[in-house]
Amino acid sequence: MIKKFSLLLVVASPLIAIAQPNSGASNKDLQLNAITTAMPFLSITPDSRAGAMGDAGTALSANSNSVYWNTAMLNFSKQDAEVSVSYTPWLRQLTNDMSLSYVSGYKRIGKRHAVTGGLRFFSLGEITFTDSQGGKLRDDNPSEYEIVGGYAFKLADKLSIGINGKFAYSNLTGGYVTPGGTSKAGVAAATDISFVYYNDEAKLSQRDGIYTFGLTLNNIGNKVAYSEISTDQRDFLPMNLKIGNAYTMEFDKFNTLTWAVDVQKLLVPTPPARNPITGDIYSGKNNNVGVISGMLQSFYDAPGTVVKDDQGAVIQNADGTYKVEKGSRLKEELREFNIGTGLEYWYNEMFALRAGFFYEHYTKGSRQYFNAGVGLKYKVIGIDISYLAGLRPGNPLANTVRFTLRFEIPKNAKSNAPSDAE
């Protein structure tokens, strides 16, 4: 299994190399084509632990925030139950009143079952609506929230699956009426599907360890409309594929070190390259499709770089198609994979140090940052704090601080008694 773990990391490594900006690239390589979605707050990391490890939480050991990262992990938790509260002041480089609050918890039932739930509330602070001349119309406090419940089932000693059901509500305008129509709140129902392979008998360099492989499909749900009259122009939820690996090395009974790596990809169609005047597609595929079609299309629809002549006009082929730079479609597809990795050191299960790095290609959003954090635990109470340092000047995520307070409920004699038949 260690060999498989190493192989997965080797497979992921070229994605990092391919995605790196090329200082010698020509201007035609610099086109931006980020993928946008409705309700992006669903993808904001809510907890401080993974938030200090490069947002690489898909294969981390189970806790109350696993309902966000990987519900299937809960069948391998050491505790019988846990609840946590997290708070994140958001985009403090831009404003001082945006924040994300998150409450979550889980309960194991026997040896093969676990239930979990969470509530996410995102406040956008106070926003002033103005008319076209800049005159003040009114103040509002837009907000969004998500309610989620999940269930995990243990298939075998080392395998588990999980499923979440969620409801999300996004009220960005308070029903504001414009000459073009009336806005409305976005409403969505979605699901997460998760899988875990957990091997607590792994060894590396003759040391005992724990290897975990996790895979999740997140936010698979309906498209969202924010207008009463333009319901045909709906936006995708931030549907996401996450593949995670983690290895925990146990040096002795006091010291452990975990290395986690996540590869993430939005399962949302890429915007095609279009004629700015007529809207005709030069390259790529129409991204106004259904949910399932969009998920599948997201793996092969990157438009690449359309070739232009010296006057800036696109070059048309003899068959009526438009010339695209060779290999640019594949390069763009690979750039849609994000990489997160992090380390976590625990001493005596009382004190933790964490650090991580997250990379998103500059043409796809340019989220690139380092994380660091600490964790403290006394008996059943734990607190985690993380800090985000942006790599580029003016990064609105820079200096983000997350706080998480956890309360564990240890297993008692009764909870240890159930047989696998339960």
In a domain, 422, yes or no: no
Its pTM stands at 0.87
Do both 275 and 259 map to the same domain?
A: no
216-268 tens-digit pLDDT: 999 999 999 988 765 567 999 999 999 999 999 999 989 999 999 999 999 99
Residue range 185-192: average pLDDT? 96
49 and 147 both lie in a single domain: yes
Cα(365)–Cα(362) distance, integer angstroms: 6
Which residues pair with residue 140 across a beta bridge? 127
Residues 290 and 216 in one domain: no
Q: Same domain, yes or no, for 223 and 261?
A: yes
- The amino acid at residue 109 is I
Residue 61 shares a structural domain with residue 147: yes
pLDDT of 395 reads 83
Q: State residue 194's pLDDT score.
A: 98
Q: Which of 318, 335, 352 is the last residue of a domain?
A: 335
Tell me, yes or no, whether 355 lies in a domain: yes
* 182: pLDDT strictly greater than 80: no
Residue 284 sits in the same domain as residue 323: yes
Residue 72 within a domain? yes
Per-residue pLDDT for 408 more than 50? yes
Q: Do 59 and 145 share a domain, yes or no?
A: yes
Question: Chain centroid to CA 298: how far?
Answer: 16
How does the average pLDDT of the chain come out, rounded? 87
Question: Quick one: pLDDT at residue 242?
Answer: 98
| pLDDT over 90 (residue 22) | no
**In degrees, to the nearest 5, what angle opens at C-alpha 48 toward C-alphas 46 and 50?**
85
CATH number at residue 410: 2.40.160.40
Listed residues 308, 335, 362: the one ending a domain: 335
Is 191 within a domain?
yes
**If 0-12 CB within 10 Å is exposed, 13-18 middle and 19+ buried, where does residue 362 land?**
middle
Q: How confident is the model at residue 26 (pLDDT cuts 50, 70, 90)?
A: very low
Q: What is the pLDDT of residue 311?
A: 86
Tell whether the model's pLDDT for residue 84 goes beyond 60: yes
* Residue 71 and residue 117 in one domain: yes
**Domain stops at, among 335, 363, 391:** 335
Write down the pLDDT at residue 175. Answer: 65
Per the domain annotation, does 220 fall within a domain? yes
In the numeric block, the tokens 């969004």 are attached to 144
Task: Give residue for tokens 């990809």.
Answer: 265
pLDDT for the residue numbered 184: 85
What residues pair up with 340 in beta bridges, in sequence order?
262, 358
Summarize pLDDT for 3-19 with one digit per residue, the tens. Answer: 433 333 333 333 333 33
Q: Which of 84-88, 170-174, 271-275 has the lowest mean pLDDT?
A: 170-174
pLDDT in the model for residue 54:
97
The separation between CA 284 and the C-alpha centre of its own chain, rounded to angstroms, equals 25
Work out the average pLDDT over 200-224: 93
Q: Within this chain, do residues 145 and 231 fall inside the same structural domain, yes or no?
A: yes
Same domain, 205 and 151: yes
234 and 331 in a single domain? The answer is no
Residue 194 sits in the same domain as residue 87: yes
pLDDT confidence of residue 319: 84
Q: For residue 421, is it within any domain?
A: no
- The per-residue pLDDT for 232 is 64
Q: Residue range 145-151: average pLDDT?
A: 98
Number of structural domains found in the chain: 2
Residue 177 has a pLDDT of 61
| Segments forming the whole domain that contains residue 31 | 2-129+136-265+343-416
Which of 174-188, 289-303, 380-394 is predicted most confidently? Answer: 289-303
Distances (CA, A) of 217 to 44, 130, 229, 244: 15, 39, 31, 12
Residue 146 lies in a domain: yes
pLDDT more than 90, % of the chain: 69
Name the nearest CA neighbour of 213 among 11, 418, 420, 415: 11
Determine, yes or no, domain membership for 36. yes
Segment 61-72 mean pLDDT: 97
Closest by CA position to 105, among listed 329, 375, 408, 386? 408
Tens-digit pLDDT profile for residues 97-129 = 999 999 999 999 999 999 999 999 999 998 887
Mean pLDDT of 116-145: 87
Nearest partner of 62 among 246, 250, 254, judged by Cα:
246
**What's the confidence (pLDDT) of residue 3?**
40
Strand, coil or helix: 319: coil
